[in-house]
Amino acid sequence: MSNLFTPVTREKAKLRMALQGVSGGGKTLSALYIAFGMTGDWSKVALIDTEHERAREYATRSDLPTPTGAFLYAHLDPPYTVEKYIQYVRTGAEAVGPDGVVIVDSLSHAWSGEGGVLEYKDQIAANQRGQNSYTAWNAAGKLQNSLVDSILSVPCHTICTLRVKQDYALQPNERGKMEPVKLGLAPIQRDNLEYEFDIVLNIARNHVATTSKDVTFLDGLSAVITPELGQQLAAWLNDGQEPQRWMCTDCGKIIQSGVNRATGEIIPAADVAALGEKQFGRPLCRNCYKIALDTRKKREEAPAHDSGEEKAAAQG
| Ordered mean pLDDT values, 10 residues apiece, the chain (316 residues) | 75 94 93 98 98 95 96 97 95 96 96 94 91 90 91 93 81 80 73 91 93 91 95 92 79 76 70 90 91 91 62 53
* Coil/strand/helix, residue 178: strand
Q: How many Cα atoms occupy the beta-carbon half-sphere of 281 within 13 Å?
A: 4
Residue 168: the pLDDT is: 67
Residue 208: the pLDDT is: 94
Looking at the DSSP assignment, which residues form a beta bridge with residue 266? Answer: 259
Residue 1: the pLDDT is: 46
CA distance 36 to 43: 9
CA distance 9 to 20: 31
CA distance 89 to 115: 17
Query: Please, are residues 78 and 113 in contact by the beta-carbon 8 Å criterion?
Result: yes
* Sign, CA torsion 24/27/28/29: positive
Residue 22: the pLDDT is: 86
Residue 187: the pLDDT is: 82
Whole-number CA gyration radius for the chain: 23
Buried b (16+ CB within 10 A) or exposed e, 181-190: beebeebbbb
What are φ and ψ of residue 227, in 5° steps? Answer: -60, -25
